[in-house]
Amino acid sequence: MEKITAHLYYSKRCRRLLQSRNYTCTPEPGTGSARDRKLKNQHDRLLPPLRLEGPQQPAPRLREDPGIDNDLHMAIMEICIDAPTMTDAMNQIQNEARARAISWTTWTRTLHFFEDSLNDTDIEHWRVTIAQVKHELSTLRQPSEWGLDEPLRKEIKISETRAALERECIDFAVTDWSMHPAIPRAFGRHRVFLHLFAGRRRRGDLQFYLDNMPPPSAYVLHVVSVDIVIDPVWGDATATQTRTCWLRMAQEGFIAGFIAGPPCETWSRARGKQVAGQQKERHAPRIVRTEEHLWGLPSLALKELVQVATGNELLTFTLLLASMMVQTGGLGIVEHPAEPEEDQAAAIWKLPFVQALLAAPGVTRRRLAQGLFGAPSPKPTDLLVINIPDLALELRRWMTRSTLPKGKAIGLSQEGNWKTGFLKEYPPAFCGALATAIRKGLDGMEMAAQASPSPEDLQRWTAMNLATYSKHLGTDFAK
């Protein structure tokens, strides 16, 4: 009984088939009862699961599952029988719904189902028409009756504000900067270089090359890795205090540069594709962004919603820091998958904010293939580059291949991991090119007067300059 109940709970096909046979059965003791434990001790695991053989009953005409709450439906029927007036009945139905943990969809479906089966004889003791009763039931299906319309109004205000900001970004993207004064590029003695979403430390990463270069003589370089796996507080870019802290340091002139590859799993071109080597019905995670809805589709599963919201927070923090580097004259690199050629495909390069950044002085866009630097697949990549004119030359110097590899990063590996997970770590030659160009940019900055950093800031920078290598490759989405 225990196994059958569990199977019918998860198997929609078998549950629907059993319901469609219209069996009349005597109720049996359920899971956890004394009889169930006795049967379990007598029969469980005496034989392995056996496939059914021999003649089978013909398949019945499958009954459609209305998707309602049967207990609630029975309660509504009893209320309508016992309530003296229609007003009392509606109040009791609303109180009954408030006492249950039920989704809005199930609630409205249940009311619709009850309304469709309602007839004149069911309500003749109220001395009202059936049209009046259906009108009251339709009122109970309105969000305003439950105080749910206020969040909807707030959401509309937020979307209107975002639309206004995006229109402002589009206007900014056509600004002519030729008549504007040059942005000074001068920083003090303490210069912080932030590596956002750094991940694990390993040989051949960006910090590996920066640490192995001769230390600068004119200034002190602090390479700080910002990632939740390095510091659960100051590495968590979804926390408001963390973002405020790093943006404040950038505004005060301590952060001279940064590099970031914001998580791209919700933007990935591998979404929605057939998974190689798997069953036909198995697909990669579905698409959650389109060109029309770059910040996320309006209807998502809860897990997808958390994933998209987290990705949006990390991306907006990256773009805010990039805009701060434009204002202060610092260095910056934002790495993300190249803009896809498919129509309606989402990409951060289509965001009005990014288009406005690309129009700012000192900002360029570079396209490359990480497969030319040692990645197992071509992995076309776009870079938003801020005030690093030597990057193109260094990328050319550090290339390890002249032709693209033939590998693909769609589907699952033999170990059952998504192949795209391995591509989130840059190949060593790519890191070497980035580090060399970044160091040239930092060395070329002029020296300016600067207030001394606080002891707390110095301690934080030192603690987040991780020197221990790790063998563990974390998941794409670590929430």
Do residues 281 and 298 touch, judged by C-beta distance below 8 A? Answer: no
pLDDT at residue 479 tops 80: no
Q: Which residues of 419-441 are buried (b: 16+ CB within 10 A; e: fewer)?
A: bbeebbbbbbbbbbbbbbbbbbb
Per the domain annotation, does 279 fall within a domain?
yes
Q: What is the pLDDT of residue 7?
A: 84
pLDDT tens-digit series, residues 327-365: 999 999 999 999 888 888 899 999 999 999 999 999 999
Residues 237 and 344 in one domain: yes
pLDDT tens-digit series, residues 380-398: 999 999 999 999 999 999 9
Q: What is the pLDDT of residue 191?
A: 94
Residue located via tokens 């004259």? 329
Query: How many CB atoms are located within 10 Å of the residue 140 CB?
Result: 15
- Rounded distance between C-alpha atoms, residue 246 and residue 225, angstroms: 12
Residues 232 and 365 in one domain: yes
With 0.75 as the threshold, say if the pTM is over it.
Answer: no
HSE at residue 215, side-chain half, CA atoms within 13 A, is 8
pLDDT tens-digit series, residues 186-199: 899 999 999 998 88
Per the domain annotation, does 479 fall within a domain?
no
- Rounded distance between C-alpha atoms, residue 289 and residue 304, angstroms: 10
- Rounded distance between C-alpha atoms, residue 379 and residue 427, angstroms: 11
Do residues 133 and 85 touch, judged by C-beta distance below 8 A? Answer: no
Cα radius of gyration rounded to whole Å, the chain:
31
Share of the chain above pLDDT 90, in %: 41
Q: Which amino acid is located at 31 in the chain?
A: T
Q: Based on the structure, what is the number of domains in the chain?
A: 3
Range of the domain at 339: 190-463
Residues 316 and 202 in one domain: yes
Q: Which amino acid is located at 424 in the chain?
A: K
Do residues 202 and 469 touch, judged by C-beta distance below 8 A? Answer: yes
Do residues 339 and 347 touch, judged by C-beta distance below 8 A? Answer: yes
pLDDT tens-digit series, residues 37-70: 888 888 776 776 677 788 888 888 888 778 888 8
Residues 303 and 372 in one domain: yes
Residue 348 sits in a domain of what CATH number?
3.40.50
